[in-house]
Amino acid sequence: MGDQPQKSNHSGREENPLWVFAYGSLMWDPGFEVAETRPARVHGWHRRFSLKSVHGWGRPEAPGLIAALHRGGSVRGRALRVAQARRAETSRYLRHRESAYRHVRVNARIGHGRIVSAVTFVFDPACPRYDLTLTPAAACQLIRQGRGARGSSADYLENVARILAEDGQEAGQAGHLWNAVRNEVRARTSLPVGPTRRCRP
């Protein structure tokens, strides 16, 4: 698929459009109206499975594990352009949904030399649910056990790896973790997308 746009319902260019760089569940379940979706790459950050989920993808007694962005390297994902009429409500929605992260601006390369300024969500040292000491085995254990209001941590991981593969992008750590747990997870071809649940990670 490369850098070809996957979804667009807008033929012109907006002034100062709001873009969101998605690298986790926002890639397949944004929960807001998306006007355009493009494969994207951001330099200076990398995806790391470091955030214990106790609501969406796990429970307090059995946390799951999801991704955050950490300094260094680069990360591939999707750039989502927010429908112009939904900018204000989308910003409010993302402040609630992504409350375990710091919200920052990054430059996202979306192909053919084009770079857009996008909002994304990165490691927040003030949040106690991050664990930067996890071994690969411990990360896999959290992914195996995590089941929450939005699905299982294995669902989350599978979707990250699947979408990056669909876009022709390297999955990095997500791919390695998925290869480690996939034989223990029931095979799925796709995950149904239900109504968006406004819950914390």
Written as one string, the DSSP assignment of 27-50 is GT---S-EEEEEEEEEEEEEEEEE
Predicted confidence at residue 201, as pLDDT, reads 59
Return all residues near 20 (Cβ < 8 A) that are at least 6 apart. Answer: 26, 30, 79, 80, 82, 90, 94, 118, 119, 120
Predicted confidence at residue 190, as pLDDT, reads 43
Cα Rg of the chain (Å, integer): 16
The answer to whether position 190 is within a domain reads: no
Predicted confidence at residue 16, as pLDDT, reads 84
Predicted confidence at residue 187, as pLDDT, reads 46
The answer to whether position 192 is within a domain reads: no
The answer to whether position 1 is within a domain reads: no
Contact yes or no for 27/159 (Cβ under 8 A): yes
Predicted confidence at residue 13, as pLDDT, reads 57
Render pLDDT for 37-59 as a digit per residue (tens, 0 to 9): 999 999 999 999 999 999 999 99
Nearest to 104 by CA among 14, 20, 200, 199: 20
* CATH code for position 47: 3.10.490.10
Predicted confidence at residue 103, as pLDDT, reads 98
Predicted confidence at residue 196, as pLDDT, reads 36
- Tens digit of each residue's pLDDT, the chain (201 residues): 444 444 444 445 567 899 999 999 999 999 999 999 999 999 999 999 999 999 999 999 999 999 999 999 999 999 999 999 999 999 999 999 999 999 999 999 998 889 999 999 999 999 999 999 999 999 999 999 999 999 999 999 999 999 999 998 877 888 889 988 887 765 443 444 443 333 355
The answer to whether position 189 is within a domain reads: no
The answer to whether position 191 is within a domain reads: no
Instruction: Look at residue 125 and give its three-state secondary structure.
Output: coil
The answer to whether position 198 is within a domain reads: no
Point out which residues pair with 54 in neighbouring strands.
none
Predicted confidence at residue 170, as pLDDT, reads 79
Predicted confidence at residue 14, as pLDDT, reads 62
Match 């071994």 to its residue by tokens: 135
Range of the domain at 161: 7-184
The answer to whether position 72 is within a domain reads: yes
The answer to whether position 201 is within a domain reads: no
Match 């909002």 to its residue by tokens: 119
Q: What is the domain count for the chain?
A: 1
